[in-house]
């Protein structure tokens, strides 16, 4: 079986994404534990927490340590989402891959657009071939809903961790679907090629 260039590059992106995500989750858990110890287990409002956190350099370090890998993981996620949309034929998508990724960065609009970009990608792959073994649309929908709950105050941190873990599962399944899609192209089915035509 011929090794696909997409597979090698996407595997590197996926491993980098998962590594950064794991670092961010570990740091977020350490921050929560340190916050609980620093404030005697009380749940603090963000403004009070930020004011008191300035006096606690360990919490500041842990907060920054969880933020940096999370931001890097967002970059890797966007690169993978772009690559996945590139494989979808033009007639099967409404927007270009660049638009699918760029609109995620518009504040508040991104709560809607994450459904269009991520759920739409899963549905597009389901339509391209009968890939009913793993329903990519359902995993994408669960991820998008969890991502919206990541904005809700009391459950924000837990919902964020669940959303990111679901995203890693969805990306892994999408990677497998994309490999099958590219393999079909190599076997002489150009209707599955997308951008590469």
**Mutual orientation of helices 57-86 and 5-38 as an angle, nearest 10°?**
160
Please name the residues in contact with 101: beta carbons below 8 A apart, sequence gap of 6 or more.
78, 81, 82, 85, 117
pLDDT reported for residue 78? 92
pLDDT reported for residue 100? 92
Hey, what long-range contacts does 156-161 have (CB within 8 A, 24 or more apart)?
157/28, 157/32, 160/28, 161/25, 161/28
| 44 vs 55: CA distance, rounded Å | 15
Say what the pTM is: 0.78
CB contact at 8 A, 76 and 20: yes
Find the length of the chain.
197
**Mutual orientation of helices 46-53 and 57-86 as an angle, nearest 10°?**
120
pLDDT reported for residue 5? 57
| 82 vs 117: CA distance, rounded Å | 10
pLDDT reported for residue 56? 63
CB contact at 8 A, 114 and 170: no
Element (H, E) at 14: helix 5-38
| 21 vs 26: CA distance, rounded Å | 9
Residue 106 in 3-state DSSP?
Answer: coil
Q: Tens digit of pLDDT per residue, the chain (197 long)?
A: 444 556 678 888 889 999 988 888 887 777 767 666 655 555 444 444 555 555 566 666 766 777 888 889 899 999 999 999 988 888 888 889 999 999 999 988 988 999 999 988 888 888 876 655 557 778 888 888 888 887 776 677 778 888 888 889 889 888 888 887 777 777 766 554 444 43
Q: How far is CA 140 from CA 54, 65, 85, 119, in A?
A: 38, 28, 14, 5
CB contact at 8 A, 84 and 93: no
CB contact at 8 A, 81 and 101: yes
Please name the residues in contact with 111: beta carbons below 8 A apart, sequence gap of 6 or more.
148, 151
């Amino acid at each position: 079986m011929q090794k696909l260039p997409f597979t090698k590059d996407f595997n590197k992106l996926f491993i980098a994404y998962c590594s950064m995500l794991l670092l961010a989750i570990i740091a977020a858990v350490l921050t929560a534990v340190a916050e609980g110890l620093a404030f005697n287990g009380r749940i603090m409002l963000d403004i009070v927490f930020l004011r008191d956190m300035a006096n606690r350099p360990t919490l500041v370090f842990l907060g920054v340590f969880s933020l940096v890998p999370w931001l890097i993981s967002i970059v890797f996620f966007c690169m993978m989402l772009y690559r996945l949309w590139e494989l979808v034929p033009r007639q099967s998508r409404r927007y270009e891959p660049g638009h699918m990724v760029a609109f995620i960065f518009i504040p508040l609009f991104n709560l809607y657009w994450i459904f269009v970009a991520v759920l739409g990608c899963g549905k597009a792959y389901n339509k391209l071939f009968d890939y009913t073994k793993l329903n990519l649309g359902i995993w994408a929908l669960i991820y998008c809903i969890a991502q919206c709950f990541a904005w809700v105050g009391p459950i924000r941190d837990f919902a964020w961790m669940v959303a990111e873990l679901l995203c890693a599962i969805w990306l892994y399944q999408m990677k497998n679907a994309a490999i099958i899609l590219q393999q079909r192209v190599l076997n002489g089915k150009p209707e599955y090629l997308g951008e590469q035509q």
